[in-house]
Structure 1
Amino acid sequence: MRPLFKAERERARALSTTSRWDWDGLPGREAAAKRAQWAMFRAHLHESGELDVLVAFGVRAELAARGWDREWPVLPAQAKNPGRWPGTRDGGWPERVTVRLPAPLVGQVPAACWHTSEDAIGKLRDWRDKHPDMLPTKPFRYPAEDAALAEYEELAAQVTPAGDIWRAAVQRGIAAEPVIRERQAVAVDA
């Protein structure tokens, strides 16, 4: 079974890097058209219930690609506090994507993100205590702040918010849609 799982991980990695829905680097009009097509395709998948299956596949593939497809300790209470974790950025999508996923998978994502980011989050909290007046997102900075802000950026890069995993899962799942559909057809024919 291990060779099969390894092959699946490699296939999922390849799919995630060759998405037919990638609009990075396209001229404005083409990128807008590609985004609109993607939104319509996603709406179709959602209405038909297929998006749930694709995102579940995408979550599993994303966790496997990061080496996070395992049991994690329970999410501590401090990780469930409202608001963003220290070090997280505004990198979301303008709209919500709602899917039905298995409960264990839903719990695995924030647990994996927290436990792999916990050390950096603690250090970022210490950083904020040490530099209470310094705002990493402030447009104007004094040269004396450069070293402290570089330290902040280095620590923030070690924090993985759950939203990063969910967004990657949607993209991986949709990119894998043709392969999954082909496998379903083969399974029905067998």
Structure 2
Amino acid sequence: MRLLPFLLLLLAFALPSEAGQPDVSQDESAIRAVLDRWYGELRPDGGRKQWQLYAPGAIDGGPGERELFPDRRSRSPTVSNELAAQALRFGYDVDLLTIDARLAKAVVWERGYFYAWAAETTYERAASAVFVLEKQEDGRWLILAHEAASVGIPPNKVTSPLPDMREHVRKPPAPLDSFRLNLTMPPSP
């Protein structure tokens, strides 16, 4: 009988209060908007200004960018190695979203579709990305850390049937044997 008030008091302090909890639904929609903008900026028709979404002191462990001709003296154009920047069609799913008052973690499954002209088929590549986001003092969510790695596609995530990507790419040049080659030697003088 003496333990009952103590247990009730302990239970009251152990349960989280409604006033101290952040608004998860509002934070979740803000985080999803940051991820939408991130992937939108990576697309070839995007602004390529994904760096604006980084928090101060952010870490990018993703595939990042590389120069086309790194041996040249002058700076060459850069190419993004992110799946979203290379794929003809791209999509992503947020597999896990954990939100705290100041930090959030998002595990994202990325998938990109490509077309191989020689095999005349569409193929799929996948990556797993982890984002750590930080809530700023003004209420915005910014990316504190990002890492993406190419992964094999497990059987439960395979796209079947694959979309037809022929209309998304331009025709390759005609094969060499379709041209008439004149291999005769000119007469010698």
Class of the TM-score when normalised by the shorter of the 2 chains: under 0.3
TM-score by length of structure 2 reads: 0.23
The higher radius of gyration belongs to 2
Kindly indicate whether structure 1 or structure 2 has the higher relative contact order, using CA contacts under 8 Å at least 6 residues apart: 1
Greater helix content:
1
